[in-house]
A and B are shown apart, each in its own frame.
Chain A
């Protein structure tokens, strides 16, 4: 049994302006094993964030099921922590206050949670910043805090919604490398939504490719890269490049009217 099991997920909603029924998620089924990193890749507007929101319990499906550790998802829960694109840190809490937030909500005693918090702050390289407020950190540090805040809760699965989309390109590379490092140390189960092919491949054990709306799983690709991973080595490896090319073609074929080889120069 997989840690996360999504079966025939289907989501429709009524467009407020046109009054039409729109299918956001057509028919999505896949599973994530314990300790596995899975990227969900698809063109923008394909409904991948909707899938994440349903798994997180923020939204409900029209039909189909989502199970985590055999239990049907029913509303948000600390077993499915979310790392947001906008970071969503609590501005009124210090770095430490953010990390221990979930532990505090679950009633973990102070001494215990301080020990756990230190461990995760160290993991993401934020030790020494405990008393800072989020706005005093750079974007990259804020998102590392976002990851620590979720992992401190030891969720069954960590959901990540394009978490590095709002940081600059250099920082993004660095954060991706750090995330693989954290993953390789802690082996959490990760559900990672992105539209960036390189990112999806570099991070994941498997890539679930969603088609454009109404989304279906068009393919699930296993990434043939050794761990630990680093960008330098990945870019040099033929497997990485082949996988990226394959997925890029797959996505390009999915967008009629936008040829993949447009030369803008």
Chain B
């Protein structure tokens, strides 16, 4: 039997946690220090690059006026809807490709062709089809995520050992139940990877699409601020996008991974 997980006192565990958090923030602190010193020494103008406290003030203003919540709210909503649509469409499609050699052979060239085009390059068509607004942005987020998730889901199914397919089939699993019983759980480590990569693409697509297609959201406010040389607001929005991404990754994807892939002892294999 495998040795039981080493029993650690809560104190040591907490201190390990604190230590990890500490080391996570150190690079950001270093970056901030370099930032402050560089801007101070070069005396660069605000219209070119802001000082750290300008950005802090900009975030404070956005907070007190409530603009921050409006923009974050609409951006988050678009990312969420786009991501849900991407998962619903790309996971089954990727699993189909992974489990069917003919489908994989047929669609793989098209997928490869689309990699460079996914997301942003579709903005002009999206706005022509769906108009300037919510739907075009959501389309872009979906589009940006679709290929990463499809590709990783396909890879995930292809990585399932042949013996597991065979075991399932010889235990009486009908073909149509293989999807839910074997392919989906078996591909999950890679699906989570795809979701991680895809959400990154999704956020990028969102920012670009909001610049063009809407009058709210983080991307839109960055663009607005640029019109008035408000580099403090631009950088503030960039910081917020980065923080939102980190929160999504830590609060959503990491727990999903812990509850499934790690609990099952299946290590994720990064594409």
Contact = CB atoms under 8 A, between A and B. Distances in A.
Interface of A: 56-58, 75-78, 80-82, 84, 86, 88-92, 101-102, 105-106, 133-138, 141, 149-150, 153
B157 to A, nearest CB: 14
A84 B265 CA distance: 19
Contacts of A58: 166, 169-170
A88 B166 contact: yes
Nearest to B174: A105
Contacts of B266: 91-92, 135
B159 interface: no
Contacts of B181: 101, 105
Given A105-B177, A133-B265, A86 B166 contact: no
B269 to A, nearest CB: 13
Contacts of A91: 264-266
A136 B172 contact: no
A136 B260 CA distance: 14
Contact of A88 (B161, B185, B263): B161
Contacts of B169: 57-58, 75-76
A92 B188 contact: yes
Contacts of B174: 105
Interface in B102-152: none
B185 to A, nearest CB: 4
A81 B168 CA distance: 10
A89 B260 CA distance: 16
Main secondary structure of the interface of A (DSSP, over half): loop
A134 B167 contact: no
Contact of A92 (B1, B163, B171, B186): B186
B166 A81 contact: no
Contacts of A81: 170-171
27 contacts: A56-B170, A57-B169, A57-B170, A76-B170, A77-B172, A80-B170, A82-B166, A84-B166, A86-B163, A88-B167, A90-B164, A90-B168, A90-B185, A91-B266, A92-B186, A92-B266, A101-B171, A101-B181, A102-B171, A133-B263, A133-B265, A135-B2, A135-B266, A141-B1, A149-B167, A150-B171, A153-B171
Interface in B239-271: 260, 263-266
A134 B265 contact: yes
Contact of B167 (A57, A80, A84): A84
Contacts of B177: 105
Contacts of B171: 78, 81, 101-102, 105, 149-150, 153
A30 B2 CA distance: 41
Nearest to A152: B171
A163 B2 CA distance: 20
B173 interface: yes
Contacts of B1: 137-138, 141
Contacts of A105: 171-174, 177, 181
Contacts of A56: 166, 170
A78 B172 contact: yes
Contacts of A82: 166-167, 170
Contact of A133 (B168, B188, B264): B264
B264 A135 contact: yes
A105 B169 CA distance: 10
Interface centre among A75, A76, A138 (most CB of B within 10 A): A76
Nearest to B2: A136
B172 A153 contact: yes
Contacts of B161: 86, 88
A137 B265 contact: no
Nearest to B266: A91
B185 A84 contact: no
B227 to A, nearest CB: 52
Given A92-B186, A92-B266, A106 B163 contact: no
Nearest to A85: B163
A45 B63 CA distance: 72
A77 B173 CA distance: 9
A45 B188 CA distance: 35
Contacts of B260: 92
Contacts of B172: 77-78, 102, 105-106, 153
A150 B171 CA distance: 7
A102 B173 CA distance: 7
